Amino acid sequence: MPSRSRNESCWCGSGKKWKKCHFPKAPPLNQNQLALDYLKKYQIILKTPEQIAGIRKACQLTSQILDKVCKKAQAGVTTRELDGFAAQLHKEAGVIAAPLYYGHPPFPNSICTSLNEVICHGIPNDIPLKEGDILNIDVSCILDGYYGDCSRMVMITPVSLERRLVCEVSYECLQRAMQILKPGLLIYEIGEAIENYATAQGCSVVNQFVGHGVGVHFHEAPQIPHHRNRLQIPLAPGMIFTIEPMINAGRREGVIDPSNQWEARTIDNRASGQWEHTVLITDTGYEVLTLL
Ligand code: MF3
Ligand code: CO
């Protein structure tokens, strides 16, 4: 039991009544119960309003950095230069680059740059971009302990029909997947929407990498497969996760580069495209947290 009354002045010294200042606000009981159920059953963290506000800010900064880095991606520029520019933007914004030193072996850079046949987790290098290249730039930031994650394709035009196709199909897959989001949707319906569209366009869907819960940690439950699957977990308000379909022109299989244990290339060296957003499930639908 609280030993002070709601009408006493707040402990913080603001002079305001406690109830108008730092009185602890409990979320509605049924939301509380749902959060406990999701944690226990699926290890999914349904975010509180306070966490959502923090993650929203992190996502906006992440998307702003991605936008600026994409504008620099032109013929003649190296991905290492893009990485350096991104590192500087992270510093100026007061955010930490989540990929830097992440995982085993530690990821060596601030952003992922995945070129042409690289599916994901590409490591920046000294090769200048040139006409005909397609590049995925993936930015993930930590702001005040909260995470945001998004990526986009950049085309160094003119590009071949096949490369353009994977850029456009992966974009459309992400849009279609987001448009159906609402509480009660089952996770497998996301993969179904993506694989139905991608295969109708003659492309394949990567199944070795998935979207993921995000916000309090970089990679949280649940996994969000982009391929056809059977995950019967209903979406619930307060869930935050990424959708990041990787779409190949040829075979879906990837091979991880043994020299760095990060970069995944298509097994047939054909083109791969990917777009990523972080989304929040709301009471009535969804909000794209990384949309500017
Ligand atoms: N969006 C990518 C992911 O969730 C970001 C990878 S950063 C890395 O996998 F450090 F893991 F490479
Ligand atoms: Co991600």
Where along the chain do its domains lie?
Answer: 49-288
DSSP 109-121: SSSEEEETTEEE-
Name the fold adopted by 49-288.
Creatine Amidinohydrolase (3.90.230)
**Rounded Cα gap, residues 158 and 171, in angstroms:** 18
Asked if pLDDT for residue 94 goes beyond 70, the answer is yes
**Rounded Cα gap, residues 71 and 82, in angstroms:** 10
**Rounded Cα gap, residues 87 and 102, in angstroms:** 15
Q: Please tell me the predicted confidence (pLDDT) of residue 2.
A: 46
Nearest CA to ligand 1 atom 8: 99
Which atom number of ligand 1 is nearest to the Cα of residue 212? 4
Q: Quick one: average pLDDT of 56-60?
A: 98
Structure tokens at 266: 């298509």
Mean pLDDT of the chain: 97
Asked if pLDDT for residue 173 goes beyond 60, the answer is yes
Q: Give me the amino acid identity at 245.
A: P
Q: Please tell me the predicted confidence (pLDDT) of residue 3.
A: 63
**Ligand 1, CB within 6 Å, residue ranges:** 99, 102-103, 107, 112, 121, 138, 140, 149, 151, 212, 244, 276
Asked if pLDDT for residue 30 goes beyond 90, the answer is no
Separation of 32 CA from ligand 1 center, angstroms?
31
Q: Is the pTM of this model over 0.85?
A: yes
